[in-house]
Structure 1
Amino acid sequence: MNVLIVDDEKHVREGIRLLADWEAFGICEIREASNGEEAVQIIDEYKPEIIFSDMKMPKMDGTKLLEWIKEHMPTSKTIVVTGYDDYQYMRKAIHYGSSDYLLKPVDPEILNTTLDRVVQEWKKEESERKSKVDSYQLINKMKPVYRDRRLTYFINNKHIEAELLEELGFHLAASYAIAVIPISEKVMEEFSYDRDLAYFSVLNIINELLMEKKCGIGFRYLANKGEIVVIFWDRFEDIQEYLNEIYVEIKKSFAVSCPIGLGPVEAVDNLLHSYHEGKKILLESNVLEEKELRVYTKNDNPNVEFKSLMVYSSAIKLAVQAGELGAFDELIQQIKADYIQEGYLSVRQMERFEQEYLLISNRWYKDYNIPVKSANLLEKRAMLYFNKDGKFMLENYEHRIQREISVFLKKVKKKQQKKNTNIIYEIEKYLQNNFNREIKLQEISEQFYISREYVSRKFKQEFNVNISDYIVQVRINKAKSLLKNSQLKIYEIANMVGYQDDKYFRKVFKKVAGITPNEYRDQ
């Protein structure tokens, strides 16, 4: 806590400093002022909790200072210290809310008793103030949540008492119209993914305009993630104009497009139908359209047949087997042409494409046993390719698809190379286990389901020796090991390592080892 002592007499200020037991009352800083004007500056800067003030001072006297404190620093506690036992001074001190009135010279016991009481009063009042602020903040925080819950409940054909709705600023009427505003990932980006702040900010714009028009209310629709709903109960002929204003203001404030879909005017028991119609109009809106105001009140788009990526499964399989990105070029252009007829692509079709595209991609990753990262939300993947005006950037999206296919094909190629290398080492192991008999390329080809030419070429690349020479090396190394056993005859060793003719064995051994089998054994 801080204290300010205001008196034009220095010895009085010093006396109060010395006589009070500041530490006992948790007071750590004491400042002084010689008049009211100086005191005002200190109070403005340091905001002391306790202020001792003389009544008669130059420039600004105690009465004017107390009046200023009451207006500008009402939470501070004031104690008047004066040399005049005058009823008029006391009356003014009481009028401006002083806690006590002390006479000079100040009695130490009275000073500390008064200070103790005033400190306790300040702490009690501060606690009450804090409690009120916390309660006010909690009420303000809970009010939107309560409103969102009640009005979500109301839309879903639930009965709510009229008094409860009126508390929320809602007006009962014979019929209503509902507008749907999706809060996309693009909007969340603008608020660093602080969802509460995003909803609060957008709703603030909506409800500020609607309160002025007295015809509707906006709220967070809790029955479906990522949506704001507006209910109109009046001035239906002007709704389009109001929604245009809302769209423009949101875009101007946050530099992002928030499309709006409006359902038809319905009776209270059919509100959910108006909501679904508004949402349907949004889902069927054309994402390729150049449009200044993305406020949709009806479906003006052509009745285009819904496309499925699954019909291209065979073509996709052939392109994957080709293993080159170029094999996908024509296919991508064909799919693009089929999906976009008359320059129209709906939000719903875009979502369906993403779902099927991810399903097919994951299946191919699984077929090649390649780990796949968990995909981002479908909305996130698509929303990256909408510009600030809400138009879908088709070319950029197409490039993303090409990049993802390219990454997949590279992983497949790397996997195949690794697999082929592993097969060569499996062939090597097979040769080592069967070195003592004749092994032909055809046998290896049939055993490992790869061509003879491929086996021959890849084996030499990996071991820098052809298969027949490799078998000879294995046989001679085994023979060297057996020659250390002096009990075995040379012809027996020759038979054991795959040679029926011991003379031929001796010839091969000398060619490889540089000495005869007998010389090797002697060494």
Structure 2
Amino acid sequence: MIKVLIVDDESWTRDIIKAFGEWEKLGMEIVGEAEDGQEALRKTEELQPDIIITDMRMPGTDGVQLLQLLQEQYPQIKTIVISGYDYFQYAKHALRYKAMDYLLKPVDPKELDSALSNCKNSIESAQTERSVFTLDLDISYLLAAYKQLLKTHFNELNKEGITATLIQMQNELEHNGITKPAMLEQVVQELLLLLKELKIANSQDSEGLHAPFGQETVESSTNTVSFLIYHYAATIDQLTQQRKFKNKLNLDEVRLYMDKHYTESVTLDQLARAFFVSKEYLSKMFKQEYGRNVTDYLLHLRMVKAKEWLLDESIPIKAIAEMAGYEDITYFYRVFKKHFGVAPGEMRKNGEV
């Protein structure tokens, strides 16, 4: 079995990770927990874990220091970073010390299991393909933070942000010596795969999107980035055209977007800008079609999901609030009780879920 150590100063976060991971299916077992970096180092020496999942902000020895010490003393251990803060600097630290993945709280079960699966693949492949695999991982490490920025800019239909991010990425590729055609092919493949995911999430056809292996595209980082800028910009233009110049607002697309992004800070203003209509018109048409306004629909989605999560008693209510998009747990309690007529704790205790 692959041994896993969980490091976080908040017990409820550790509980969420334990609840969400498909440990048995992945052939893994949790051998220990630690509340800070110093305790993690002691348990690493004692338990010899294969994977360490760590928070970044902890008292005493924090995640950044822990990653550095692990890289120096136990370079074979695979690490996954989990942070409650979407700070690019944190992601840079994670990449510098070769973390396998960088996940944001609240933890998404699919992302966690995907990161664990990547660790497993890395561990199993290290013996036979160590040199090549390490090179591939280094490229993936570098791309991870840029992927997060590209997602954000794409959802905002921000071509300028996309371009600036890819140019920044190009500078770092060159700084790290990632300029050979084989390396740049991986960059193209990974970022086109991300673009395909974004197209599918926005109900666009992605069948014609293929990674090229021609020498011209990958003969330099400039060519590679120009190619990616073209495809990302063209996709945003296509999506803009679909939304902006339709004879009629497609409310199903609006609803689908809300269904996929309800845990984020989605507002009526943002939706109106993304679909090129006034917020008054969007609000009126949405309520006419679905019987409730945009705000009430988002609230309904969050409450239904929160009620579903209450079924799992291993998930703390504070974590459920964050996963449903509420940082203020007091406000979550108030909204939940108003929606269902009973507080979440009472609902769980009485078995009403």
Q: Is TM > 0.5 for Structure 1 vs Structure 2?
A: no
Higher relative contact order (Cα pairs below 8 Å, separated by 6+ residues): 2
Bigger helix share: 2
Bigger CA radius of gyration: 1
Q: Normalized against structure 1, the TM-score is what?
A: 0.24
